[in-house]
Amino acid sequence: MKFSKNLGLFLVVDAIVLAVFNIIAFVLPFHRGGGFWTGYGSASFAILFTALVGAYAFGRDGMKSKFYGIPMAYVVLPYLIVQVVAGFLEMAIPFIPFRYEILLNVVFLAIVLIGLIGAEMGKGEAERLDAKVKDKVFYIKSLQGDIEAMATATPDADLRKELKVIAEAIRFSDPMSAPQLAAAENRIEAKVVELGGSFGSDKTASLALCAELQQLIAERNRKCKLLK
């Protein structure tokens, strides 16, 4: 777990809530019966539970700490507020049977757990998409690097110009990943390999392959727009 700035701020706020709650609980003259300890225990649990959720949600590197932690914070913070308020009411109203208070607090906890499970499922999907985008960015940069290396190596001005155009087109290609793009991407990769094989030996064939590559890249970019 990484102790990030977001995590530090989250825990500081949680500690302040815990301190203020305990001061109010033991300074005011509450009747310390079953209702008091039910409200006090449930609210204290909510505060500590919120700290654990914050540690899990924000204890990540870089942007993941913000991107993946915020949905969980949106789920757990309303629970904290509701449970602390309910805890004070349970402490202040001694004539309500504490068994009903326990049942109510369990319902609050069940609701927040369901919300956190949903947020975790969404986080898993976001991580999966993030990994796919990273793979696609590597694929694009690899192709771009191959084309730029050819452009640097060729002494032919016409061929160098065409290769630079292709490199720019690849550079600004959409890094999205989808099964529908696989065929176009495979053709692009095959053409780059073919261009590398003919490079330096047949200018006419190389220029023809450059034109085909530009068409294939444009076709992939059009499909990317249609898939959005």
Q: What would the pLDDT profile of 186-198 be if each residue is shown by its tens digit?
A: 888 888 888 877 7
Across the chain, mean pLDDT equals 84
What's this model's pTM, rounded to 2 decimal places? 0.59
Question: Are 95 and 206 in the same domain?
Answer: no
Long-range contacts of 49-53 (CB under 8 A, 24+ apart): 49/76, 49/109, 50/14, 50/76, 50/77, 50/79, 50/80, 51/10, 51/11, 51/14, 51/15, 53/116
What is the pLDDT, as a whole number, of residue 126? 64
* Domain limits for position 58: 5-129
Question: Are 64 and 121 in the same domain?
Answer: yes
Question: Are 20 and 88 in the same domain?
Answer: yes
CB atoms near residue 131 (< 10 Å) = 11
Number of domains within the chain: 2
Question: Are 174 and 102 in the same domain?
Answer: no
Question: Residues 65-76: pLDDT tens digits?
Answer: 555 667 888 899
Question: Are 20 and 120 in the same domain?
Answer: yes
Which among 129, 162, 188 is the end of a domain? 129
Q: Identify whether 134 is part of a domain.
A: no
Q: Identify whether 68 is part of a domain.
A: yes
Question: Are 105 and 200 in the same domain?
Answer: no
| Res 96 pLDDT > 80 | yes
Question: Are 16 and 122 in the same domain?
Answer: yes
